[in-house]
Each structure stands twice: as structure tokens, then as C-alpha cells.
Copies of this chain bind each other. A is one copy, B any other.
């Protein structure tokens, strides 16, 4: 840590301003990713559809928490949104003090964990959405989208936010790696 501090002290003014540019980009990516996961969580969390008709066999109301995977998706997106909001403070700290290296490494590791959680939530939800659209004849699972059209569109659409956030996280990690390597 003391070594990193010394090296940071040696950083020239030009490098510091370039580093500040990276930090501002980092901040913007975090805002975009946070908005995307928030949109995903809200879109999925408020999804429900009541059909104007019902029979003995078909349920007439579908909500996101009928499927545990969608609940996991909402919880994961909400956690990531919270993490991104908290990480903005560290991101602002990096804009002001561009020399700090330890906090960048901590943030990069947390970003990787967040990326893992988000990838698994998005993949699991995608598997279920695919099943809802196509069904599976072998397992006798019906394509519920034929009945719950609006429900399916909402759940499919809410995946987009997560995938946008995944791309943002990959860019954030690459930015961090670049910023950390500059400080050597």
C-alpha cells in the first residue's frame, strides 16, 4: 500500500488528468448500469396480468412471483442497483483523488462479484422466459405466453436492462484494469 502511495505521488500531472477522464467515464458507466438494473427490477417486479376470462384449467392471473426464478431476478437486480448507488461515492472519490490504487482494486473485485450475480440472474430468467415462450413438448410444459401475452412481453423486456448492465460491468472492469495498470 505504501508502495502504491509512493508511485501515486510520482504520477505526473498529465497522467493524473487522463486518469481523471477514466474516472469520469467510470462514473457515467455506473449511472447507466444502475438505471438499467433499476429499470429491470421495476419492470419485472410490477409485472402481472389478469385475463378477462378463465376456465377450470387455466389460471386467470399471472404475477412475476409465481416463478421463483423471476423473484431471484428482481432481488439480484435490486441488490446490484443498491451496490451501484453506493459505489458512486467511491467513483466520485476517484475523480477527486485520481492517485488512490487500493480502492480501485477493491472496487474492481466487487464489480466482478456483481457481474457474476447479475449474469446468473439474467441467464436463469432467460431460460424461464424462453420456456414461457416456446414451452416444451417432451416435459409437457405449455407455452404460457399464448395466454399471458402482456405478462410475457414485460418479463422478456425486463431482461434487456440486465444485459445492458452486464455490458456496462464488463466495460467498468476493463476501465479499472487499465486505470490500475497506469498507476504502476
Contact = CB atoms under 8 A, between A and B. Distances in A.
Interface of A: 57-59, 62-63, 66-69, 112, 115-116, 119-128, 130-132, 134, 136, 138-142, 144, 173, 184
Given A62-B139, A119-B119, A140-B144, 19 more contacts: A58-B140, A59-B138, A66-B136, A66-B138, A68-B130, A69-B130, A112-B112, A112-B173, A115-B116, A119-B123, A120-B120, A120-B122, A121-B123, A123-B124, A127-B127, A131-B141, A132-B139, A141-B142, A184-B184
Contacts of A66: 136, 138-139
Contacts of A62: 138-139
